Structure 1
């Protein structure tokens, strides 16, 4: 990276991010279920082929949660790993943010369930329930702003989905795409020049991805169940158009605010909706595809968890070094999208 760019970003990163105090990630964690579901498994019951799934999505297998376990169980497992890697304990956490639209049940709060299970008794729970696949990005930005308060020292952010429970077993247009997982980060104040440098958020209302029933507009009834309205519906073409447009736009806006170019970024942590979408976004940015971590091939699209699975994989492999620049970007149903730029501390 040119010295002038590095110096500019380091000296004014918190100002560009709109934060008084620099905030970064100090530990990551991830949990995936043990049950592996391959394309061959799905082909037995769906009108599709392994070749079609791989060519259209890049997915070869995914994990589905075992019977008797639920989203909060995955959250707790990922959170414990993130706490251990951060050197913090549950008692050190001031807030627990859980981003998921596959919450354990509409009430009580999934974040509260997780807080209690962890023993994070000093923390308050906060649920982000409708940011969908952008939930990880929104959760981290929310944590960064909470940490501007002098009473906040550590915030636990979790993204998790149990998508096997909300996709229709008879619908190949959704069933093959999604998997179950949870990822977590602990965020704290960091040294000046490190942590979050800039960010961008935006949204545009669309019903191209939705779960029609179960809310106030269409309460669950015997008829809605017969019509399978409780399952996720997705217009795949609309997702492709929005994702391949919005992700590069949001990334460029974020980098402009940090005084950086796409080529300056060491690690792209992109939402794993589909391998082809990740590749297209990198091609539009003019950056080698190898800079984008990939987990969609083995986990599928895990919603709010995807960016955390990529980030944790990079951390576990030792790929991220102090001073490296990272972009974290995601888009979810709504459509809701956002990007963060961080310097590893």
Structure 2
């Protein structure tokens, strides 16, 4: 990792989830299952889903507005927009361009989508870190937003029980006090195991001159393989991120992991030997909200008194690709 020319400050964090709640009992009407069966295997009791014409952009805009309000910046202060989306509802225009317009960010500001699945928030932080560190941009808006409920097969018990919809956002800026809030950050990928989690595009590989049916475009996941990979791989990178920050495990106040599955979170906790008070989990009420899960867990943790600002946390995640990463961050007072 190269040293930043300019340090980065996390200025504000926000989130938004839809109002509609789908409980485990609701899912028993779709296929043979039970609240106990789902909760035992996932730690999930309910999840939020969009309804009507509500979209990932709608959620992203609200999350961004909340982050901007906390940051003290206005839309016109933003000079770059990055949106992390696992499977955007449109290939183009980019969701970032739609969010730019909806927020009233100047219409010349570069805005682009980044695809790193559930690791998208951490990947976006790495990109923003480089852009700010190089001096190209000063105030960057990061948004993670997904409508997972429209990508799962609601007849597939293996995947539909896991996902929920939501958005999270961060405003990051040059740290004028010289204190870098990103104490360390490491992101990785291994395409050789990309088949563990996949989502085909509708119409993929259709011949140009022959009629074809739309291919299956729903989420596929090899759950056991994902579990084994994460539990064997991610703890090492958490330890590495702490070492790169020049800290020890006891210096970390909170672990805020991607909210994929409570069993995975508990396995990480056990491997890292962290106390319950250190590990932030809200998957019980939201399910897996993809890249948005970390900022949602962070802000809600502060709101519920589980996280005290003025502390140090490690953010870690993994997703399709396979991608993964970890960041040690300072949580300044007032960011959410």
TM-score (ref. length: structure 2): 0.92
Indicate if the aligned counterparts of 1:194 and 1:344 stay in contact, CA closer than 8 A: no
Return the offset for 1:313.
1.5
Deviation digits for residues 291-316 of structure 1 (CA, Å, limit 9, x no counterpart) = 11112110000001111111112333
CA distance in 2, matches of 1:222, 1:302: 32
2:27 is equivalent to residue 38 of structure 1? no
2:186 is equivalent to residue 200 of structure 1? yes
Counterpart pick for 1:165 among 150, 153, 157: 150
Bigger Cα displacement from structure 2, 203-212 vs 68-77: 203-212
CA distance in 1, matches of 2:18, 2:282: 14
Map of 1:12 onto structure 2: none
Change (3 A) 1:106 1:151: closer
Map of 1:291 onto structure 2: 278
Map of 2:314 onto structure 1: 327
Map of 2:34 onto structure 1: 49
Map of 1:88 onto structure 2: 73
Map of 2:217 onto structure 1: 230
Question: How much is the aligned-residue C-alpha RMSD, in angstroms?
Answer: 1.8
SS in 1 for 2:130: helix
SS in 1 for 2:133: coil
Return the offset for 1:112.
0.3
Counterpart pick for 1:135 among 79, 104, 120: 120
Indicate if the aligned counterparts of 1:136 and 1:159 stay in contact, CA closer than 8 A: yes
Deviation digits for residues 139-185 of structure 1 (CA, Å, limit 9, x no counterpart) = 11111111124352211101111000000011000000000000001
Map of 1:184 onto structure 2: 169
Q: Within 5 Å, which residues of 2 pair with 1:261-276?
A: 261-276=248-263
2:291 is equivalent to residue 301 of structure 1? no
CA distance in 2, matches of 1:317, 1:90: 28
Return the offset for 1:317.
4.1
SS in 1 for 2:284: helix
Name the count of aligned residue pairs. Answer: 325
Map of 1:5 onto structure 2: none
Map of 2:299 onto structure 1: 312
Return the offset for 1:222.
5.3
2:198 is equivalent to residue 210 of structure 1? yes
Map of 2:49 onto structure 1: 64
Indicate if the aligned counterparts of 1:136 and 1:304 stay in contact, CA closer than 8 A: yes
Return the offset for 1:102.
2.7
CA distance in 2, matches of 1:219, 1:20: 49
Return the offset for 1:289.
2.7
Bigger Cα displacement from structure 2, 196-205 vs 54-63: 196-205
Bigger Cα displacement from structure 2, 18-27 vs 278-287: 18-27
Counterpart pick for 1:340 among 321, 327, 330: 327
Map of 1:9 onto structure 2: none
Return the offset for 1:17.
6.3
Map of 1:8 onto structure 2: none
Counterpart pick for 1:99 among 84, 89, 113: 84
Map of 1:146 onto structure 2: 131
- Any gaps of 5 or more consecutive residues in structure 2? none
Deviation digits for residues 228-263 of structure 1 (CA, Å, limit 9, x no counterpart) = x11001111011111112221110111111122222
